Structure 1
Amino acid sequence: MKTLLTAAASAAVLLASQAPAFAEDLEFLLVNDSSADLVEFNVSPASSDRWEDNLIDGGYLAPGYEIGVLIADGATTCVYDIRGSFADRSEEEDFGLDLCDLGEYVFTD
Protein backbone atom coordinates (compact mmCIF):
# COMPACT_ATOMS: atom_id res chain seq x y z
CA MET A 1 0.00 0.00 0.00
CA LYS A 2 2.85 2.39 0.78
CA THR A 3 4.33 1.85 -2.69
CA LEU A 4 0.91 2.49 -4.20
CA LEU A 5 0.45 5.81 -2.42
CA THR A 6 4.03 6.84 -3.11
CA ALA A 7 3.46 6.26 -6.81
CA ALA A 8 0.39 8.47 -6.79
CA ALA A 9 2.19 11.25 -4.98
CA SER A 10 5.21 10.96 -7.26
CA ALA A 11 3.05 11.18 -10.37
CA ALA A 12 1.33 14.32 -9.13
CA VAL A 13 4.60 15.96 -8.11
CA LEU A 14 6.34 14.99 -11.35
CA LEU A 15 3.64 16.52 -13.48
CA ALA A 16 3.08 19.59 -11.33
CA SER A 17 6.78 20.46 -11.32
CA GLN A 18 6.78 20.79 -15.11
CA ALA A 19 3.90 23.26 -15.43
CA PRO A 20 4.08 26.98 -16.10
CA ALA A 21 1.70 29.08 -14.02
CA PHE A 22 -0.48 30.06 -17.01
CA ALA A 23 -1.44 26.55 -18.13
CA GLU A 24 -4.71 24.91 -17.13
CA ASP A 25 -4.20 21.77 -15.07
CA LEU A 26 -6.17 18.65 -15.98
CA GLU A 27 -7.28 16.24 -13.26
CA PHE A 28 -9.01 12.87 -13.40
CA LEU A 29 -9.34 9.69 -11.39
CA LEU A 30 -7.43 6.63 -12.64
CA VAL A 31 -9.13 3.34 -11.70
CA ASN A 32 -7.68 -0.15 -12.06
CA ASP A 33 -10.62 -2.56 -12.41
CA SER A 34 -8.45 -5.10 -14.23
CA SER A 35 -7.15 -8.33 -12.69
CA ALA A 36 -3.46 -7.31 -12.79
CA ASP A 37 -1.29 -4.61 -11.22
CA LEU A 38 -0.90 -1.51 -13.39
CA VAL A 39 2.89 -1.05 -13.50
CA GLU A 40 3.24 1.65 -16.14
CA PHE A 41 0.99 4.57 -17.01
CA ASN A 42 1.75 7.05 -19.77
CA VAL A 43 -0.19 10.11 -20.92
CA SER A 44 0.90 12.11 -23.98
CA PRO A 45 -0.69 14.88 -26.02
CA ALA A 46 -2.42 13.31 -29.03
CA SER A 47 -0.23 15.44 -31.30
CA SER A 48 2.92 13.77 -29.95
CA ASP A 49 4.54 10.80 -31.68
CA ARG A 50 6.07 9.39 -28.48
CA TRP A 51 4.89 8.39 -25.02
CA GLU A 52 5.76 10.60 -22.05
CA ASP A 53 7.49 9.15 -18.96
CA ASN A 54 5.91 6.43 -16.82
CA LEU A 55 3.90 8.29 -14.18
CA ILE A 56 4.00 5.42 -11.69
CA ASP A 57 7.69 4.57 -12.14
CA GLY A 58 8.80 2.42 -9.23
CA GLY A 59 5.25 1.82 -8.03
CA TYR A 60 2.04 0.16 -9.15
CA LEU A 61 -1.73 0.49 -8.96
CA ALA A 62 -3.27 -2.74 -7.68
CA PRO A 63 -6.60 -4.10 -8.93
CA GLY A 64 -9.52 -2.41 -7.19
CA TYR A 65 -7.57 0.78 -6.39
CA GLU A 66 -7.71 4.29 -7.77
CA ILE A 67 -5.50 7.38 -7.73
CA GLY A 68 -5.92 10.99 -8.74
CA VAL A 69 -3.91 12.09 -11.77
CA LEU A 70 -2.86 15.69 -12.31
CA ILE A 71 -1.56 16.70 -15.72
CA ALA A 72 0.17 20.04 -15.47
CA ASP A 73 2.41 19.86 -18.50
CA GLY A 74 1.93 23.38 -19.77
CA ALA A 75 0.06 22.23 -22.87
CA THR A 76 -3.07 24.07 -23.94
CA THR A 77 -4.69 20.98 -25.47
CA CYS A 78 -7.35 18.76 -23.93
CA VAL A 79 -6.79 15.80 -26.26
CA TYR A 80 -4.39 13.12 -24.98
CA ASP A 81 -3.50 9.48 -25.55
CA ILE A 82 -3.24 7.01 -22.63
CA ARG A 83 -1.29 3.78 -22.29
CA GLY A 84 -1.28 1.31 -19.42
CA SER A 85 1.04 -1.67 -19.01
CA PHE A 86 0.25 -4.43 -16.54
CA ALA A 87 2.21 -6.98 -14.50
CA ASP A 88 0.78 -9.81 -16.62
CA ARG A 89 2.50 -8.20 -19.66
CA SER A 90 -0.77 -7.00 -21.20
CA GLU A 91 -1.08 -3.46 -22.47
CA GLU A 92 -3.98 -1.14 -23.20
CA GLU A 93 -3.92 2.05 -25.26
CA ASP A 94 -6.63 4.63 -25.80
CA PHE A 95 -6.30 7.52 -28.22
CA GLY A 96 -7.83 10.97 -28.64
CA LEU A 97 -9.36 11.35 -25.18
CA ASP A 98 -10.68 14.76 -24.16
CA LEU A 99 -9.19 15.03 -20.67
CA CYS A 100 -10.89 18.37 -20.06
CA ASP A 101 -14.20 16.49 -19.88
CA LEU A 102 -12.91 13.22 -18.43
CA GLY A 103 -13.80 12.66 -14.78
CA GLU A 104 -12.23 9.21 -14.56
CA TYR A 105 -10.47 6.63 -16.67
CA VAL A 106 -11.01 2.94 -15.91
CA PHE A 107 -8.75 0.09 -16.99
CA THR A 108 -10.65 -3.21 -17.23
CA ASP A 109 -9.93 -6.70 -18.57
Structure 2
Amino acid sequence: MRYKWALGLAMLGVAAPAFADAWDFILTNNTGKEIKTIEVSPAGANQWQPNKVDDGEKAKPIKPAGRTTIHFDKSATQCKWEVKATFADDTTAVFPAVNLCDASFVTIRYANGTPAATGS
Protein backbone atom coordinates (compact mmCIF):
# COMPACT_ATOMS: atom_id res chain seq x y z
CA MET A 1 0.00 0.00 0.00
CA ARG A 2 2.79 2.42 0.88
CA TYR A 3 4.47 1.64 -2.45
CA LYS A 4 1.40 2.79 -4.46
CA TRP A 5 1.16 6.01 -2.45
CA ALA A 6 4.86 6.83 -3.03
CA LEU A 7 4.57 5.98 -6.72
CA GLY A 8 1.56 8.31 -7.05
CA LEU A 9 3.45 11.20 -5.45
CA ALA A 10 6.47 10.60 -7.68
CA MET A 11 4.29 10.69 -10.79
CA LEU A 12 2.76 14.01 -9.74
CA GLY A 13 6.26 15.46 -9.35
CA VAL A 14 7.23 14.34 -12.84
CA ALA A 15 4.16 15.94 -14.41
CA ALA A 16 4.68 19.35 -12.78
CA PRO A 17 6.94 21.86 -14.58
CA ALA A 18 10.09 22.71 -12.68
CA PHE A 19 10.65 26.39 -13.41
CA ALA A 20 8.27 27.96 -15.90
CA ASP A 21 5.08 27.48 -17.87
CA ALA A 22 4.68 28.06 -21.58
CA TRP A 23 2.27 30.96 -22.08
CA ASP A 24 1.00 32.94 -25.01
CA PHE A 25 -1.05 35.99 -25.89
CA ILE A 26 -2.35 37.68 -29.02
CA LEU A 27 -0.46 40.88 -29.89
CA THR A 28 -2.06 43.61 -32.00
CA ASN A 29 0.34 46.07 -33.63
CA ASN A 30 -1.20 49.55 -33.58
CA THR A 31 2.16 51.34 -33.71
CA GLY A 32 1.87 52.30 -37.37
CA LYS A 33 5.21 50.55 -38.07
CA GLU A 34 6.10 47.02 -39.18
CA ILE A 35 7.60 44.93 -36.37
CA LYS A 36 10.49 42.52 -37.05
CA THR A 37 10.71 40.90 -33.62
CA ILE A 38 8.95 40.88 -30.26
CA GLU A 39 10.57 40.12 -26.91
CA VAL A 40 9.06 40.01 -23.42
CA SER A 41 10.57 40.53 -19.98
CA PRO A 42 9.22 40.50 -16.46
CA ALA A 43 8.51 44.12 -15.53
CA GLY A 44 11.70 45.95 -14.57
CA ALA A 45 13.91 42.85 -14.92
CA ASN A 46 15.48 43.63 -18.31
CA GLN A 47 15.63 39.87 -19.03
CA TRP A 48 14.34 39.77 -22.59
CA GLN A 49 13.23 36.51 -24.12
CA PRO A 50 12.26 36.29 -27.79
CA ASN A 51 8.93 35.11 -29.11
CA LYS A 52 9.21 31.34 -29.33
CA VAL A 53 8.56 29.95 -32.78
CA ASP A 54 8.43 26.32 -33.85
CA ASP A 55 11.73 24.66 -34.74
CA GLY A 56 12.75 25.45 -38.29
CA GLU A 57 10.42 28.44 -38.53
CA LYS A 58 11.31 32.10 -38.52
CA ALA A 59 9.25 34.81 -36.83
CA LYS A 60 7.17 36.64 -39.43
CA PRO A 61 7.00 40.45 -39.49
CA ILE A 62 3.89 41.98 -37.94
CA LYS A 63 2.37 44.54 -40.28
CA PRO A 64 0.70 47.71 -38.93
CA ALA A 65 -2.76 46.74 -37.61
CA GLY A 66 -1.67 43.06 -37.79
CA ARG A 67 -2.01 40.42 -35.11
CA THR A 68 0.11 37.46 -34.08
CA THR A 69 0.45 34.99 -31.23
CA ILE A 70 3.43 35.54 -28.91
CA HIS A 71 4.77 32.46 -27.07
CA PHE A 72 7.02 32.76 -24.01
CA ASP A 73 7.95 31.07 -20.72
CA LYS A 74 6.16 32.64 -17.77
CA SER A 75 7.72 32.46 -14.34
CA ALA A 76 5.42 31.16 -11.63
CA THR A 77 5.39 34.37 -9.59
CA GLN A 78 5.42 37.11 -12.25
CA CYS A 79 2.27 38.53 -13.87
CA LYS A 80 3.43 41.93 -15.16
CA TRP A 81 5.45 41.74 -18.40
CA GLU A 82 6.94 44.40 -20.66
CA VAL A 83 6.94 44.07 -24.45
CA LYS A 84 9.90 45.14 -26.59
CA ALA A 85 9.40 45.64 -30.32
CA THR A 86 12.17 45.86 -32.91
CA PHE A 87 10.81 47.56 -35.99
CA ALA A 88 11.68 47.06 -39.66
CA ASP A 89 13.82 50.23 -39.51
CA ASP A 90 15.87 48.64 -36.65
CA THR A 91 14.56 51.05 -34.00
CA THR A 92 13.19 49.58 -30.77
CA ALA A 93 10.58 50.54 -28.22
CA VAL A 94 9.69 49.10 -24.83
CA PHE A 95 5.99 49.09 -24.06
CA PRO A 96 4.85 49.29 -20.43
CA ALA A 97 4.01 46.24 -18.38
CA VAL A 98 0.74 44.40 -18.90
CA ASN A 99 -0.71 41.83 -16.50
CA LEU A 100 -0.46 38.69 -18.62
CA CYS A 101 -2.06 36.56 -15.89
CA ASP A 102 -5.32 38.35 -16.68
CA ALA A 103 -4.87 39.42 -20.33
CA SER A 104 -4.97 37.18 -23.41
CA PHE A 105 -4.91 40.09 -25.86
CA VAL A 106 -2.34 42.91 -25.83
CA THR A 107 -2.39 45.97 -28.05
CA ILE A 108 0.73 48.11 -28.42
CA ARG A 109 0.60 51.65 -29.79
CA TYR A 110 1.97 55.14 -29.35
CA ALA A 111 -0.01 57.68 -27.31
CA ASN A 112 1.31 61.21 -28.00
CA GLY A 113 4.67 59.68 -29.03
CA THR A 114 4.99 57.52 -25.89
CA PRO A 115 4.83 53.70 -26.04
CA ALA A 116 1.56 52.43 -24.54
CA ALA A 117 0.11 48.95 -24.04
CA THR A 118 -3.28 47.65 -23.01
CA GLY A 119 -4.39 44.16 -22.17
CA SER A 120 -7.76 42.50 -22.11
TM-score range, shorter chain: 0.5 to 0.7
Q: Does 1:78 align with 2:79?
A: yes
Please state how far the C-alpha of 1:78 moved relative to its aligned partner: 1.3
Structure 1 segment 43-58 matched on structure 2, within 5 A: 43-46=40-43, 48-53=45-50, 55=52, 58=59
Q: Does 1:34 align with 2:31?
A: yes
TM-score with structure 2 length normalisation?
0.56
Note closer, same or farther for the CA distance 1:74–1:41 as it changes in structure 2 (3 Å cut).
Answer: closer
Task: Report what 1:59 is aligned to.
Answer: 60
Note closer, same or farther for the CA distance 1:107–1:90 as it changes in structure 2 (3 Å cut).
Answer: farther
1:42 touches 1:55 (CA, 8 Å); kept in 2? Answer: no
TM-score with structure 1 length normalisation?
0.61
Task: Report what 2:105 is aligned to.
Answer: 104
* Amino acid aligned to 1:88: D
Please state how far the C-alpha of 1:38 moved relative to its aligned partner: 0.6
Question: Equivalents in 1 of 2:104, 2:47: separation in Å?
Answer: 24
1:45 touches 1:80 (CA, 8 Å); kept in 2? Answer: yes
* Identical residues among aligned pairs (%): 25
Question: Equivalents in 1 of 2:89, 2:18: separation in Å?
Answer: 39
* Amino acid aligned to 1:93: V
Note closer, same or farther for the CA distance 1:70–1:36 as it changes in structure 2 (3 Å cut).
Answer: same
Partner SS for 1:61: coil
Query: Which contiguous aligned blocks of 4+ residues in structure 1 show a shift greater than 6 angstroms?
Result: none
What are structure 2's unaligned runs of at least 5 residues? 1-16, 111-120
